[in-house]
Amino acid sequence: MADKKVETNNLSDDHVAKKPKLDESPDENPHEIHSNIKDLSTFKVEKILNNNTKSKIVCLQGTFSNADGAGLVILEKTAFEEDNLKCNSKYFTSSSYLKKIFHNDIYGNYEYFPVLELNSIKTTVIHPATEKHIEKYCVQNPYIVDETPDVYQSIVLPYIIKEQFDLQWVYNILEHKSEVDRILFEDPDPKNGFVLLPDLKWNGITLDTLYLLAIVNDRNIKSIRDLQGDHVRLLKNIYNKGCQAIEEKYGLTKSQLRIYLHYQPSFYHLHVHFTYLRHEAPGIHAERAHLLSNVISNIELLADYYQKVTLPFIVRETDKLFKVLEDNNILKKSSIKD
Ligand code: M7G
């Protein structure tokens, strides 16, 4: 398992000294639980943070009896895999069980229990979870903020530097310390290169929910706000080589992919999301997703477009940033003048 590494990240030197308190690990070996965990019998649920009946994802906060600190368990019922449903279906065998609830004339209601291997629940465990992780997975009231360049420089950037999530998992991927066998494509060029691999949100199997992430090698780009003319090559490289690798492996062409960046992202190291167009992944809506092709085109038109533009983003009520923006009267102000 990767050692915890104190690495100068994409932010100022100052940031290293003032590493975000919220993200400090409460014990020496924060990965311990992941090397030993066999089942979830040691997890004690304390709070249901979110239960989304549409996406069928539940986020639970609790503790593990064998480890200190808060933990999060995120359970997701996965989509059907078409290959398993086609002829010679794995779903319809005599080892499955059909329980009748009632029938009325030609209509029957049943509960169906297919074989165990088809009943898996995608599970993410975050331990030790910080206050900021817990906030991220809670249902909360969202608000939209029109972030002018001035608001970014004076309020948002200082907040990001102080409070951002730890990026160790990103560096572990770039340094081949974690998820090495999951890498689909890699361009090692330090300026224009990136690593492409399945996102944490994807089980890596069900094509209908395909979700990959391209993480750039350059550690000096926090988000689209930092993108300038000399990043066009990097972005085009991600677009072209990312699409090619996905087509070769999964048979989906670039016109079947939604390729975008988040603003604001959760993690301030530039990365690009690749999802299947048919899949309604979280975070694909207008208030957060910026299509890579638009981003490239904007920078080609105006090299410092993202330093000049007003960028709307979503802030949630319990985010510390919400309070800072409210105190500065930013939430009520509109950047659109009559
Ligand atoms: P984001 O736009 O910063 O924020 O995306 P979001 O999480 O609110 O979407 C970061 C992306 O990185 C997300 O799609 C996460 O699912 C993904 N991700 C996060 N972690 C901690 C990991 C990880 O450890 N491995 C991989 N492969 N993906 C991760």
Does residue 73 surpass a pLDDT of 80?
Answer: yes
Residue 338 lies in a domain: no
Residue 110 clears pLDDT 90, i.e. is over it: yes
Mean pLDDT value of segment 302-329: 94
Q: CA nearest 155: which of 330, 17, 333?
A: 330
Q: What is the CATH number of the domain that holds 328?
A: 3.30.428.10
273 known ligand binder: yes
Contact (Cβ atoms closer than 8 angstroms) between residue 151 and residue 329: no
**Ligand 1 centre and the CA of 264: distance in Å?**
13
Same domain, 261 and 311: yes
Query: In terms of residue numbers, what domain contains 127?
Result: 1-78+120-139
| Residues 84 and 192 placed together within one structural domain of the fold | no
Distance, in Å, from the CA atom of 335 to the CA atom of 151, rounded to the nearest integer, reads 10
| pLDDT of residue 11 exceeding 60 | no
* One domain, residues 187 and 93: no
- Digit-coded pLDDT (tens) for 118-170: 999 999 999 999 999 999 999 888 999 999 999 999 999 999 999 899 999 99
Domain-embedded: residue 213: yes
The answer to whether 176 is a known catalytic residue is: no
Q: Which of 127, 133, 231, 271 is catalytic?
A: 271
Arithmetic mean of pLDDT, 304-321:
94
pLDDT at 88: 73
Mutate to test the pocket of ligand 1, among 34, 167, 185, 199 (most ligand atoms within 8 A of CB): 199
User: Using CA atoms in the order 185, 167, 36, 124, what is the torsion angle rounded to 10 degrees?
Assistant: -70
Residues 215 and 124 in one domain: no
Three-state DSSP at 272 gives: strand
Q: Do 188 and 301 lie in a common domain? A: yes
CATH of the domain at 41: 3.30.200
User: Are 101 and 54 in the same domain?
Assistant: no
Exposure on the CB side of residue 20, measured as CA atoms within 13 A: 21
Range of weakest confidence among 74-88, 234-248, 269-283: 74-88
What is the CA(7)–ligand 1 centre distance, in A? Answer: 19
In this structure, the answer to whether residues 129 and 98 fall within a common structural domain is no
Do 26 and 68 touch, CB atoms closer than 8 A? Answer: yes
Ligand 1 neighbours, Cβ below 6 Å, are 169, 179, 197, 199-201, 213, 262, 265-267, 271, 283
Give pLDDT, residue 4. Answer: 32
Question: Do 35 and 125 reside in the same domain of the chain?
Answer: yes
Mean pLDDT, rounded, for 35-64: 94
Q: Find the 261 Cα to ligand 1 centroid distance in Å.
A: 12
% of the chain with per-residue pLDDT over 90: 75
Residue 219 lies in a domain: yes
**DSSP annotation of 152:** I
Task: Identify the residue whose C-alpha is closest to ligand 1 atom 21.
Answer: 169
pLDDT, tens digit, 9 for 90 and up, residues 185-232:
999 999 999 999 999 999 898 899 999 999 999 999 999 999 999 999
Facing residues of 185 across strands?
A: 196
